[in-house]
Chain A
Amino acid sequence: MALKEKEKDNVVAGSIEPSKLRQMYRKLVPAMVEGDHTFGTVSDKIGDVTLKKKTPFHWFIGFTIAFMVAQALLFTTVWLLINGIGIWGNNQPVGWAFDIINFVWWIGIGHAGTLISAILLLLNQKWRTSINRFAEAMTLFAVACAAMFPLLHTGRPWLAAYWLFPYPNVMGIWPQFRSPLIWDVFAVSTYATVSLLFWYVGLIPDLATLRDRAKNRFFKFIYSIVCWGWRGSARHWHRYELAYLILAGISTPLVLSVHSIVSLDFSVSQVPGWHATFFPPYFVAGAIYAGFAMVLILCIPLRHWYNMKDFITHTHLIFMGKVMLATGLIVVYSYVMEAFFGWYSASQNEYFMIKNRIWEGPYWWMYWLLILCNGLSIQLIWFKRFRESEFWLFLISIVVSLGMWLERFVIIVTSLNRDFLPSSWANYAPRFFDYSMFIGTIGFFFTLIYLFVRFVPIISIFEVRTLLPAANVHGRQQDFDESVLEVEYTYDRTDPPNRD
C-alpha cells in the first residue's frame, strides 16, 4: 500500500494537504465503510430497519406484487397435482425442458451467496462483510425455488421420498446410487442445509443485538429465543469464529461440488452437447456469474431504499462487477470450447449438434441471443464509465440473468430436439403452465426477499463493526485505518538518517 514514488516526493516536500493525501490513500485502499460511524450508529442504522422504522410504503407495494406473482406458482402446483406433468410442454424427444432449465438457473444463482460468504472469507476479502447477509439469504431462497422443480417434476411429490432418499421402506427398494440424479439429491439437500446453518450462525449475534434493543416485549421474547441467549462472551466468540471458519472451509468444496454434480446430470449421459468433460468448471463459473448478477440486482435497489450507501459502497458494486466480468469471460471461453470440441471430436453426431445449435436448427436465434447477453454485454464492464455507473451495472445484471437462463435453454433443448434418429425429431415449445410456474417461482423468490428485508438485519451488524477503525487494538495491523497513513506520512517527512 505504499504511495507511488512520485506522490511520495510530493509528501516529502510537504506540498500536499493531509486531506488530499487522504484522498490519495483512499484511492489505494478503498473504504469499506463510508461516513463517520461508531459501533452504536452501525447497530442503529442497520438494526432500525428491522426494529424501529416504519415499514416504508414501497415495501408494501413490492411485497404485494411479489406475493401476487407467487400465486402463479401455487395455482400451477395445484393444477399439476391434479393433472400430472402433462400440463407442461415437454414431450419426446425433449423430455427435459423448463423444469431442469429453471432448476439449474435457480441453483446457479444461489452460488454467489456461498462464494461471497465462504470463499471470500477464506481469501480475507473485507468487502464481503456488508453483502454476505443478503447474498446468503438469496442463496437460501434460490435453492428453495430450485428444489421446487425436481420435486414437482416427479408429478407425485408425496412419493418422491422413496424415489429420492435412501430410507428403509416397506417395499424394500433403494435409490440407484450410481445415478447422477441421486448425487444431485445429496448435493442439493446438503447445500440447502449447510447454507441455512451458515446463514443462521451468522445471524445469532445480530439477533442478540436486536433482542437488547427491542422495546416490544413480544419481539424481545422472540429474539431472545432465536439468538439462543447469545451474550457476546469472549470464550463464545472464540468457538464461534472457529465454527464460522470451519463452515466457510467446508462450504467452499461444497459450493464447487454442487454445480459440478448438477452438470454431471448432463455430462454422465451420452447425448451430444451434454457429454463433455469440461461441464463441471463451465457450470460453476456460469453459476457464479449468474449469482453475482442477482446480487447486484438485489443490492442496487436495497442500498437506495434503505439508505445503506455507507455500507454497500460504490467500491462494493465495482468489485462485484469485476467478479462478474471474470466469471463471464470463463463462460465465454466455455462457449468457444464447446463449439471447438464439436468440430475437433470428428464425431458426426457432435458436429451435427453444434450445427443444429448454432446455425441450422430452429433455435439458432436463441444461441445468438445468448452470446449477445452473456458474451457481449459483459464486455462493457471493461470500461470505467459503465463499471462505475449503477444504472449500467443493474442493466447488465438483468441482461446476464436472462442470458444465463438462455444458456440452459440452449444446452438442454438444442441437444435433445434433434437426436440420433431423424424420425423422432420434434421441436419444443413451452406452454402456459411452463411459464406460469417459472414466473411463479420468481414471485416466490421476491416474496421471501421482501420478508427477509423486513424481519432480519439485511447487513451483518457485528461484522461491519469489525471494519471500523475503533475495532483495532493498538499494535494490530491496521489495514483500513488511516493511522497507517499518518505513520507513512511522518515517516516520509523524517530525514533519512533519523528513520528507524
Chain B
Amino acid sequence: MEKNLYGLLAEFDSATELVDAARAVRDAGYTKTDAFTPFPLHEIDEALGIKRSILPYLCFAGGITGMFSGFALQYFVHVIDYPIIVGGRPHISLPAMIPPAYELTILLTAFTAVFGMLFLNGLPRPYHPVFNVPRFALATREKFFLLIESDDEEFEYDVTRRFMEKLEGQQEVFDVPE
C-alpha cells in the first residue's frame, strides 16, 4: 500500500453503471465511500447507504428561533422598553406582531438551510485530494466517479484495486494522492 494515498477513484460513463457499482461496493463491505456526479442522483443515496441528513430538523429549529425572536423583539420594544399607546391598541397587539415574526421565521429557516447545508458538507473547502486526479474535472461536466477511501477498514490496496477494476462499466481506476 502506498503511503500517501487518499483512496481509489473509478470513473464511469453512465448513472446506471455508477449506481450498480455503488451497490456492489456497499455489498463488499466498504463504508468510507463516496460518489461524484454532475447532477443530483437520488438512487445513489440508497446504493451507497447515505443516511438522511439532520438538516430539516436544524431548519425547523431555526424557524422556531426566528418566530420567537420576532415576537420577543416586538414584546421588548412595545411592552418593556418603550411602552406607548398608539390608536388605543393594547401594548401586546398580537395580530399586528404576526408579519414581522412570520418574516423572521422564514429568514432564519433560510439561513439555517443554506449555511447548515454548507456546514454539514464541510464547505467551503477549495482543496480536496480528489482534485489531484486530472480526469476528476469531468465530474462537474459529464462523468461519474466512485471513491473508496484508504481509511476504510476493508481497504487493502491490491485487493481493492482489483475489485474496482472488475466493476462493470468502469473506465479507469485512479490512485488519489493525499
Residue numbers of A with Cβ under 8 A of B are: 38-40, 43, 166, 172-178, 180, 182-183, 186-187, 190, 193-194, 197-198, 200-201, 205, 208-209, 211-213, 224-225, 228-243, 246-247, 250-251, 253-254, 257, 261, 264, 462-463, 465-466, 470-474, 476
Residue numbers of B with Cβ under 8 A of A are: 14-16, 19, 34-41, 43-45, 48, 50, 52-53, 55-56, 59, 63, 73-74, 77-78, 81-82, 86-87, 89, 93, 96-97, 99-100, 102-104, 106-107, 109-111, 113-114, 116-118, 120-121, 123-128, 130-131, 136-142
- Residue pair A234, B45 in contact (C-beta under 8 Å): yes
Residues of A within 8 A of B37 (CB): 232, 234, 237
Residues of B within 8 A of A225 (CB): 124, 126
Contacts A193-B107, A205-B140, A250-B109 given: A240-B40 contact, CB under 8 Å? yes
- Residue pair A211, B140 in contact (C-beta under 8 Å): yes
How far does the alpha carbon of A472 sit from the alpha carbon of B81 in the complex, in Å? 59
Residues of A within 8 A of B93 (CB): 178
Main secondary structure of the interface of B (DSSP, over half): helix
- Residue pair A229, B50 in contact (C-beta under 8 Å): no
Residues of B within 8 A of A224 (CB): 126
Residues of A within 8 A of B103 (CB): 183, 186-187, 190, 254, 257
The 7 closest A-B pairs by CB, nearest first: A39-B142, A243-B117, A183-B99, A228-B124, A212-B137, A234-B35, A186-B103
- Residue pair B106, A242 in contact (C-beta under 8 Å): no
Closest to B126 in A: A229
Contacts A193-B110, A240-B121 given: A178-B36 contact, CB under 8 Å? no
- Residue pair B99, A186 in contact (C-beta under 8 Å): yes
B112, chain A: closest CB distance, angstroms: 8
Contacts A212-B137, A213-B141, A229-B127 given: A197-B48 contact, CB under 8 Å? no
Contacts A166-B77, A186-B103, A211-B140 given: A242-B117 contact, CB under 8 Å? yes
Main secondary structure of the interface of A (DSSP, over half): helix
Closest to A185 in B: B100
- Residue pair A232, B139 in contact (C-beta under 8 Å): yes
- Residue pair B118, A228 in contact (C-beta under 8 Å): yes
- Residue pair B36, A261 in contact (C-beta under 8 Å): no
Closest to B75 in A: A177
Residues of B within 8 A of A463 (CB): 39
Contacts A190-B106, A194-B107, A237-B41 given: A230-B113 contact, CB under 8 Å? no
- Residue pair A177, B36 in contact (C-beta under 8 Å): no
- Residue pair A238, B141 in contact (C-beta under 8 Å): no
Contacts A177-B77, A250-B110, A462-B38 given: A470-B130 contact, CB under 8 Å? no
Contacts A187-B99, A234-B45, A473-B15 given: A178-B127 contact, CB under 8 Å? no
- Residue pair B34, A235 in contact (C-beta under 8 Å): yes
B159, chain A: closest CB distance, angstroms: 23
Closest to B82 in A: A174
Contacts A177-B96, A236-B123, A257-B102 given: A231-B77 contact, CB under 8 Å? no
